[in-house]
Amino acid sequence: MSKTKVANFSQMYTKYLNLVQAVRSLPSFPQLDAVESRMLNVFASAWHEDKPITVLEAMVMLPEISTTTAHRRLKALRKKGMIDLNLDSQDNRVKYVVPTKATHQYFAQLGQCMEKAQAV
Amino acid sequence: MQLQKNLWVVAMTALAYVGLLSFNQFLFSSFNASAFSSLVFLPSGLGLVCVLLFVEWGSMGMVLGALLMGMGQMYTGDPITVLGAAVLSGLAPLLARALCLRCDAFDENLQGLTASCLLRMTVAFAAVSALLHQVWSVARGQGGDLWGGLALHFTGDVLGALVVLYSAKLVLDRLPQPSRG
């Protein structure tokens, strides 16, 4: 095979690989930053034990971040559809942080990734 | 030999264009929503991918595919309009690629092409394509509602390209990733 031909094939394959990589990394879930993802993980363990989380509790669940940052991240998570807020039936001043359908899908996908990693 | 390979690319792109456009029409006619068939224009995704991979040969394939459909199944009785629209179908993704090469961080080998670059290129392609086709329609006296047509064409191209890209992602995500070890 001539050198030009090899170079052409190599160039085409590089293009194909780069395009595949870009397509693979198209966003499918809302992009979560490290703090948002950590907050969701902490919430998930409480939700797993059927423990309700009020907004005030949620704001102090990560001691390493300030309450202002936690509040901002809660708003971001809500905007991304990863959490919802439910009013307490007795006291309208109390709001609970609850998971959404997207949250369940997010954790299901993480679970699948874990399973794949274990299988390798 | 190289020319033969490139002609093969043109033929395959044209064939894929005809197939996707026929599928597009079949899909919407079976949902009794032919009026909205332009809202999701699947061949635009093909144009984007083929021009990124095969550049001018992919573009020629798009022109040939659009010409085949325009002169055959979708003939409107005006060959000049069909010819112009077909040329624009191939030219628009090529122009969008050139525009993105100048502005974005990826090179001709697509080195540095990220998902956000791809999405930006989709929007650029849809804008260029909608503008060129609408200007051509007006020039041929078939403009109608200029802004409405522009919005419909832009939406169709963006949604069509997204459907194709996300379908590809769905398939790729189900394929095993190459091992890094």
Tell me whether residue B180 is in a domain. no
Domains of chain B: total = 1
What would the pLDDT profile of A35-70 be if each residue is shown by its tens digit?
Answer: 998 999 999 999 988 899 999 999 999 988 999 999
Which residues have CB under 8 Å from B82's CB, separation 6+?
A: B67, B70, B71, B75, B76
Nearest chain A Cα distance for residue B66, angstroms: 24
Which residues have CB under 8 Å from A87's CB, separation 6+?
A: A94, A95, A96
Give the range of the structural domain holding residue B165, as residue numbers without chain letter.
2-174
ipTM for the predicted complex: 0.80
Which residues have CB under 8 Å from A24's CB, separation 6+?
A: B169, B172, B173
Does B62 lie at the interface with A, CB-CB under 8 angstroms? Answer: no
Tell me whether residue B57 is in a domain. yes
Which residues have CB under 8 Å from A20's CB, separation 6+?
A: B172
| Among candidates B49, B109, B168 on the partner chain, residue whose Cβ is nearest the Cβ of A18 | B109
Contacts of B52 in chain A (CB under 8 A): 15, 19
What would the pLDDT profile of B158-177 be if each residue is shown by its tens digit?
Answer: 999 999 999 998 888 777 66
Burial of B140 (0-12, 13-18, 19+ CB in 10 A): middle
| Among candidates B53, B166, B168 on the partner chain, residue whose Cβ is nearest the Cβ of A15 | B53
Contacts of B114 in chain A (CB under 8 A): 22, 25
Instruction: Identify the CATH number of the domain defined by range A34-119.
Output: 1.10.10.10
What strands, in cross-sheet order, belong to the sheet with A53-54? A53-54, A95-99, A83-87
pLDDT on residue B114: 87
Residue B98 near residue B52 (C-beta atoms within 8 A): no
What would the pLDDT profile of B114-142 be if each residue is shown by its tens digit?
Answer: 888 899 999 999 999 999 998 888 888 87
The two tokens of residue B165 are 């890209």
Tell me whether residue B11 is in a domain. yes
Does A22 lie at the interface with B, CB-CB under 8 angstroms? Answer: yes
